[in-house]
A and B are shown apart, each in its own frame.
Chain A
Amino acid sequence: MTKTITVTDLVRRYSLGEVLVTALNGVSVSIEQGEFVSIMGTSGSGKSTLLNLIGGLDRFDSGKIIVDELDIASLDENELARYRREKIGFIFQSYNLIPTLTALQNVELPLIFAGVPRNDRLSKTEQILRAVGLEKRMHHRPTEMSGGEQQRVAIGRALINGPSIILGDEPTGNLDSKTGEEIMKLLTWMNKENGLTVVMVTHDPEKASYADRTILIKDGRIID
């Protein structure tokens, strides 16, 4: 199997006021294409930082991240935006939907930034919303939907540009166990049926068990 993500000696430090915090302290990991990997650790262990760096949301101090032969550190702001737009789909714990836009418009948003013409956008968006089971909620705003439904919208938004990697940061963290299970099934479906690489951060061993492999992280280092 081909490696899609290769992380080598990754270091990321934050300054919190006067204090310098080392979030990642030399992390190396590789993830294969089509793999479903969960990253586990306690809060503050650096697991979210690793995910954000893979997704190109933040810069790191040293080390290397190669995604599909692309050296993330070498990308400028524009190329990084393009990388997020074309390769990555994010799913967040708090859904991160835009409150003034409907489900349809939220899912459509990445297509607007990708410059897809209006007519093509509509059919594609509706198709995705049907796939995540929201065909009846298309014109509802986030406040009119349950948490599970909002997370489905977010999943639809992550899928819309046809990325190869889905990054989930505690995607079930705000949901009850039944709804969380539905979301996990959706992620598994994306991984198994569509061949997407899924990397998910969680602190819940039960959710982590959906993955093919679990990486344990503690104090900025991988321990297993």
Chain B
Amino acid sequence: MAYKHTIDHQIFSFPDLKSVLAKASPFRTGDALAGLAAESNMERVAAQCALSEIPLKDFLNEAIIPYEQDEVTRLIVDTHDEVAFKEISSFTVGDLRNWLLTHEVDTKKLSKISKGLTPEMVTAVSKLMRNQDLIAVAQKCEVMTQFRNTLGKKGQLSVRLQPNHPTDNLKGIAASIIDGLLYGSGDAVIGINPVTDSVDIVGDQLKMMDEIRMRFDIPTQICVLSHLTTSLELLDKAPIDLVFQSIGGTEKTNTSFGINLGMIQEAYEGALELNRGTLGKNVMYFETGQGSSLSANAHWNVDQQTCEARAYAVARHFNPLLVNSVVGFIGPEYLYDGKQITRAGLEDHFCGKLMSLPMGMDVCYTNHAEADQDDMDNLLTLLGVAGVNFIMGVPGSDDVMLNYQSTSFHDALYVRKVLGKKPAPEFEAWLEKMGIMDATGERRSIEASHKLLKPL
């Protein structure tokens, strides 16, 4: 269906829903690279005006990627919850924005309508929202998940401890794990990105981490962020808490990652059967990021933020413990600078939360992006206010394996302190018991004789 909007006697027309969505997006280099971005500032605002008037019902009638040709579209359409949608079914996208911001719409209400929202509706409304709107509404969401601890309750901020090593050296990885634990990180997960995605190497890494976890009785979960097929092979051979996978918002993107929905389902069921979680059954960990579909030439001329939100529809189908966008990793041809990375980070967090995902964020940048630690401090603080479930903890912000910069263990302490946030309650109790933090949440001085420093 075609849409149009007139400003100052100038008519702007858009051939279909996906072009309105693309042109209404705040500027980012990836959409320009794909040739989808608005051609002028005027056209962008005209697209936003047109978008604001589109009834949410239109989104149920027009698939932006054909149903017959894309299993992600089929998942979105087939699992749409009409009952949850009812309350907002008469809204336009603009109404939805104004409604979300009212005081009457609270945590409970947001979770009630969540399954009635398609990713396209969520991405549409986000394009009309200012950064403060994205923060204000996300802050009202609460998405709690459990495996061996409780993540995502209001007032909490957790950390994935990311102890990568450039040659997968087990002692080198363990050294970073100890460093992170002694700085209070690791409640979301202790998760390694392996250099070599082989069954042997990943298996050894899992065994090493599980040994540390059990020896010190740490109430957290471990994960090697290998390809899903590697995890599947290891299900009965190594201690697998969570199955990890990078996912995208189109079937073709997922094909380029070497997966499909059926494979995720198989891994999900396999991990559930292991029954390793003591508190809950959230067994999946997904990573996403704007630009992955364009990069795989699998975007169907859909803008990168909309593709990203569609990946969240994939994620929510499998009740994950953790989901995070790796927002600044992809590079300046998709998100050019601190401003674009910040906007994208807030959008991704908002869209994920509105779709009831336990949303975390890899607040990060590469050296060819126009960004630095100050930009990361800004985004970290904003996401902390928005109620992000977890962030990354990388020694000194410098990932020596993936060659990019993320947030550090120190950064996590900073954001917890300035915003009064706490770790997962079970992990917090452990930190106190181990003499790493005191009852007020301040980090203690660690002596050379500390238990954690003995094994290596």
A and B bind? no
Could you tell me which B residues sit within 8 Å of A by CB distance? Answer: none
Could you tell me which A residues sit within 8 Å of B by CB distance? Answer: none
